[in-house]
């Protein structure tokens, strides 16, 4: 990124001076020099249309617009159709003024979409109306997006996301609004600065990051170790299959489907890493890992290997780890020790920020799918989800996971059987017990191991000792598909269900 200072000018419909210090701090952390000024309160249109205004005197590199719907439209009686049209006219005037200033100043524009209206004059009756406060807010936001999204050099931020992150009760300070027209608590200004700084960074460097993981950290239970970049041998006995790890693996699959790239590195041989990724009780597979570097002593060595072999720039790698590492200039995102927080940490970090040249968008209302008026029955819906239910005989390594399912599944549990891990292993070594894991997936996603089935084989009969399904797969007719799958398996061994 260039070391030239950036001049940033903020125009807002409310007092936004608190943004300056937070934004300067965020940009400094990104290595960017900046000069940030806030223009006169609630004078966006006049500042943008007057060539003698302070805005035109400052000649900023980036113009930031931050508004509230309550401040920028002239009517509140949304239940009247003519009121909605009047609101659109107000917004059109604002947008035209802002785009005029952008073109005249030849600057980049960051436009913060306003959050939805906070007040509900009709309470819960609001959503029952076509032009209630909520629906009007959503339609006006969509109207603004359609006008702004395809302007070159313009970036959209989202004021609604700020409120959603903290919750409405924790976001507004109406006492300060009454006193100084500053409607938000400090945290909202800080989070707004974070969004804006990420967009400026994206404008200066639009490269896809490669998410790098030590395979041992991502797939295995961790042993006590110092924070360094040395890789460790994989151990199949330490592979973790609890819900938090599987949820994060499913999240990584989602990221890959959107074009993100994942790299795994390991001290172990390729065959050992592939064998673990082939396990049916894990969700992440080797197909999702674009780069794999094995038999390396350190993460740095693994990254340099991929850098040489594939010509990937070193500034595209970012290592995700729960320990602070020493990586010789390679970037790192420090993950929380608690794996349930990994997804939120990645989402908040900005490492996914990217604008894809291949992404398809709506264009001025064209190509938008028309609202469907077709009515579907539940049966048609269930047929449309392409449900797949697979029964797999477990091995001793999966006994702990089956114990966890037996002791924690409540919503669909036919017998209440509570075996320990040792009892499950003992049953596996017997002659007349069959224990299956239940794997479920449909067009909405892969649910991984979502249940278990335990039964006793007696001559030519099969007695179900336990049948459990996780609540996340209920309501999809999984139990019927499961019994059909079981019948097919028992038929192959000449047993009657």
> What is the model's pTM?
0.79
- In this structure, the answer to whether residues 45 and 61 fall within a common structural domain is yes
Q: What is the CATH number of the domain that holds 465?
A: 3.40.630.30
CA 55 to chain centre: 36
- In this structure, the answer to whether residues 119 and 62 fall within a common structural domain is yes
Exposed / middle / buried, residue 382 (Cβ in 10 Å: 0-12, 13-18, 19+): middle
CB atoms within 10 A of CB 120: 13
Domain end call among 181, 204, 227: 204
pLDDT by residue (tens digit) across 8-56?
999 999 999 999 999 999 999 888 889 999 998 888 998 999 999 999 9
Exposed / middle / buried, residue 211 (Cβ in 10 Å: 0-12, 13-18, 19+): buried
Report how far residue 5's alpha carbon sits from residue 32's, in angstroms, rounded to the nearest whole number: 7
- In this structure, the answer to whether residues 336 and 471 fall within a common structural domain is no
Domain annotation covers residue 84: yes
- Reduced to 3 states, what is the DSSP secondary structure of residue 158? strand
- In this structure, the answer to whether residues 70 and 146 fall within a common structural domain is yes
Residues 266, 175: contact at Cβ < 8 Å? Answer: no
- In this structure, the answer to whether residues 386 and 326 fall within a common structural domain is no
Question: Dihedral sign, CA of 297, 300, 301, 302?
Answer: positive
- In this structure, the answer to whether residues 188 and 219 fall within a common structural domain is no
- In this structure, the answer to whether residues 53 and 170 fall within a common structural domain is yes
- In this structure, the answer to whether residues 135 and 252 fall within a common structural domain is no
- In this structure, the answer to whether residues 10 and 74 fall within a common structural domain is yes
Beta bridge partners of 454: 435, 466
Q: What is the CATH number of the domain that holds 240?
A: 3.40.50.1000
Low-confidence ranges of the chain (pLDDT < 50): 361-373
Domain annotation covers residue 434: yes
Report how far residue 218's alpha carbon sits from residue 248's, in angstroms, rounded to the nearest whole number: 9
Instruction: Give the pLDDT score at 61.
Output: 96
Domain annotation covers residue 123: yes
Number of domains in the chain: 3
CA 208 to chain centre: 16
- Reduced to 3 states, what is the DSSP secondary structure of residue 408? helix
The residue range of the domain holding 320 is 210-349
- Reduced to 3 states, what is the DSSP secondary structure of residue 261? strand
Domain annotation covers residue 362: no
Question: Dihedral sign, CA of 119, 122, 127, 130?
Answer: negative
Domain end call among 157, 173, 204: 204
Domain end call among 166, 188, 204: 204
Q: What is the 3-state secondary structure (H, E, C) of 47-91?
A: HHHCCCCHHHHHCCCEEEEECCHHHHCCCCCCCCHHHHHHHHHHH
Q: Residue 428: which residues within 8 A CB-CB, separation 6 or more? A: 394, 395, 396, 399, 435
Domain annotation covers residue 357: no
- In this structure, the answer to whether residues 483 and 450 fall within a common structural domain is yes
Domain annotation covers residue 369: no
Question: Dihedral sign, CA of 465, 471, 477, 481?
Answer: negative
CB atoms within 10 A of CB 426: 13
Instruction: Give the pLDDT score at 368.
Output: 40
Phi, psi (rounded to 5 degrees) for 115: -70, 170
- Reduced to 3 states, what is the DSSP secondary structure of residue 9? strand
- Write out the E strands in 308-394: 317-321, 331-334, 388-393
Report how far residue 38's alpha carbon sits from residue 40's, in angstroms, rounded to the nearest whole number: 7
- In this structure, the answer to whether residues 133 and 248 fall within a common structural domain is no
Domain annotation covers residue 354: no
- In this structure, the answer to whether residues 434 and 302 fall within a common structural domain is no
Domain annotation covers residue 360: no
């Amino acid at each position: 990124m260039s070391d030239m200072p950036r001049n940033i000018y903020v125009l807002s419909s409310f007092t936004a001076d608190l943004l300056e210090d937070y934004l300067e701090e965020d940009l400094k952390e990104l290595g960017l020099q900046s000069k940030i000024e806030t223009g006169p309160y609630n004078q966006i249109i006049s500042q943008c249309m007057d060539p003698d205004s302070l805005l035109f005197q400052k000649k900023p590199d980036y113009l930031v617009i931050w508004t509230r719907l309550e401040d920028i439209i002239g009517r509140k009686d949304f239940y009247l159709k003519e009121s909605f049209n009047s609101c659109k006219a107000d917004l059109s005037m604002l947008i035209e003024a802002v785009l005029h200033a952008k073109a005249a100043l030849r600057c980049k524009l960051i436009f913060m979409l306003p959050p939805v209206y906070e007040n509900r004059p009709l309470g819960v009756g609001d959503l029952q109306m076509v032009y209630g406060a909520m629906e009007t807010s959503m339609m006006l936001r969509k109207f603004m997006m359609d006008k702004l999204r395809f302007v070159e050099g313009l970036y959209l931020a989202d004021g609604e996301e700020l409120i959603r992150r903290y919750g409405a009760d924790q976001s507004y300070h109406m006492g300060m609004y009454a006193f100084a027209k500053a409607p938000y608590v400090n945290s909202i200004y800080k989070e707004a600065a974070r969004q804006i700084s990420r967009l400026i960074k994206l404008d200066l460097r639009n490269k896809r990051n490669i998410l790098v993981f030590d395979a041992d950290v991502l797939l295995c239970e961790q042993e006590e170790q110092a924070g360094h970049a040395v890789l460790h041998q994989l151990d199949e006995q330490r592979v973790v299959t609890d819900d938090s790890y599987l949820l994060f693996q499913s999240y990584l699959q989602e990221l890959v489907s959107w074009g993100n790239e994942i790299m795994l590195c390991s001290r172990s041989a390729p065959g050992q890493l592939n064998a673990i990724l082939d396990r049916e009780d894990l969700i992440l597979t080797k197909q999702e890992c674009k780069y794999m570097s094995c038999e390396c002593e350190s993460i740095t060595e693994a990254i340099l290997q991929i850098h040489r072999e594939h010509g990937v720039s070193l500034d595209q790698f970012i290592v995700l780890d729960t320990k602070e590492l020493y990586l010789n200039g390679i970037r790192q995102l420090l993950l929380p020790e608690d794996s349930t927080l990994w997804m939120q940490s990645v989402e908040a970090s900005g490492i996914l920020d990217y604008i894809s040249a291949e992404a398809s968008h709506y264009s001025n209302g064209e190509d938008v799918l028309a609202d469907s008026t077709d009515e579907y029955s539940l049966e048609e819906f269930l047929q449309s989800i392409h449900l797949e239910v697979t029964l797999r005989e477990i091995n001793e390594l999966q006994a702990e996971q089956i114990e966890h399912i037996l002791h924690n599944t409540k919503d669909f549990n036919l017998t209440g059987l509570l075996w320990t891990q040792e009892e499950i292993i003992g049953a596996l070594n017997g002659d007349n017990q069959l224990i299956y894991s239940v794997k479920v997936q449909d067009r909405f996603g892969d649910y991984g191991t979502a249940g278990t089935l335990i039964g006793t084989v007696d001559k030519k009969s099969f007695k179900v000792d336990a049948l459990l399904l996780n609540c996340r797969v209920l309501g999809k007719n999984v139990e019927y598909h499961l019994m059909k799958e079981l019948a097919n398996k028992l038929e192959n061994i000449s047993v009657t269900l």
